Amino acid sequence: MRFVPSRFRKLSLLAGLTLLMAGGLAVLMAGSERESDTYILATATTGGTFYPVGVAIATLTKQVLEDEHGVALAAISSAGSEENLRLMRSGEARFAILQGLYGAWAWRGEGRLARQEPFTDLRSVTALWPNVEHFLVRASLVETGTVADLENLAGRRFSIGARYSGTEGSNRHILTALGIDADQAFHLVYQGYGASADAFQNQLIDGMNTPAGVPVGAVTRAMAAARGNAVLLSFDEAQRAAVNRGYRELWQFFDIEAGTYPHQDEAVRTVAQANLLAVTADVPEEHVYRLLVTLYDNLGFLHAFHAATRAMTLETALDGLPVPLHPGAARFFRERGLNIPPELRPPELEGNDG
């Protein structure tokens, strides 16, 4: 079923209600999920990109998918990728938006998740939008314009993200890959995106990284307030290769066009990892299949809801996925003519042509 444009006003109202009711809905749905075929979709904090896009996806399923097929998603806020995986392991959520790095860590039992068993029941549904790294530092500390300049922040305050958040985890991975021991090099500040922007504006920190879909509101605020005294750092090929070491091209180059942010006169070549919509293996094939039909037949709604989703296309739906597909997703993408690489084939279908 394709989304009808005349419903946009109704959808916007419903999205607003979803934003207000998300906290209470989490409690309600935790007890009724199986009976109603309404699945919890774990996102992240309300200040980033995961949450509003999750609300848009959930709203779309309520409007298009639920009446005809009895399936819908209910978006809830969370601390991000790390908590989302905990919610999925415990059965409190069946769907989640994850950073690609966390999907890889969960599947392998590595990184910050090394103390846990590999999450063999984790499956990919689709890549969503690029999670773009925005390393922002004071202009006075910039020499090369690349992330090598992070070394100039030695002894200074750097916001690495909220404690135990996906942002903190991926930032630590990147910094370690670049040869920087964050705990030794910086005076670390643990703040979310909005608080980091405020701290940068008030000169309480000298650097931050807020990975998210472009444009990031917190970066816009920080760069506007800095009035030219803030620079987004770029990556060169050697730096990208270092971050990707051990992971199959998880981070790709991403060009932030000139003028995307205030006082940004030149394009910045940074890197981005895929965000993915993930699901547990126990969700029926038909439900995941119908969800993908709904998403890709109504991309215009998601594009209108948040600019980051304009990067979502059928052609890029498998790019950067670190976890095998759910059988329902494999069925959908094969029907749409995509070639599924061996590493993404569902374990359930090994040994047959399904």
Q: How far apart are CA 219 and CA 216, in angstroms?
A: 5
pLDDT of residue 314: 95
Domain 5-129+275-349, CATH among 2.40.50.100, 3.90.1150.200, 3.40.190.10, 3.40.50.2020: 3.40.190.10
Question: Tokens standing for 235?
Answer: 């990556």
Alpha helices by DSSP H, listed for 135-178, are 166-177
Q: How confident is the model at residue 45, as a pLDDT?
A: 80
Q: Where in the chain is the domain with CATH 3.40.190.10?
A: 5-129+275-349, 132-273
pLDDT of residue 351: 65
Which one of 2.120.10.10, 3.40.190.10, 3.50.50.60, 3.30.465.10 gives the CATH number of domain 132-273?
3.40.190.10
| Ranges of residues in the chain whose predicted pLDDT is under 70 | 1-36, 351-354
pTM recorded for the entire structure: 0.83
Tokens of 26: 């989490």
Q: What's the confidence (pLDDT) of residue 17? A: 41
Strand partners, 278: 96, 124
List C-alpha distances in Å: 30 to 34, 41, 164, 176. 9, 11, 23, 38
In the chain, the percentage of residues whose pLDDT exceeds 90 is: 76
Residue 97 contacts residue 84 (beta carbons within 8 Å): yes
Per-residue pLDDT, 3: 47
Alpha carbon distance 146, 67 (integer Å): 51
pLDDT at residue number 32: 40
pLDDT score recorded for residue 350: 77
The pLDDT score that the predictor gives to residue 352 is 62
Of 111, 134, 353, 169, the residue nearest 264 (C-alpha)? 134
Q: What is the pLDDT of residue 110?
A: 95
Average confidence score pLDDT of the chain: 89
Measured between alpha carbons, how far is 248 from 32 in angstroms, rounded to an integer?
39
State how beta strands 230-232 and 135-138 pair: antiparallel
> What DSSP designation does 311 have?
G
Give the DSSP letter of residue 94. Answer: S
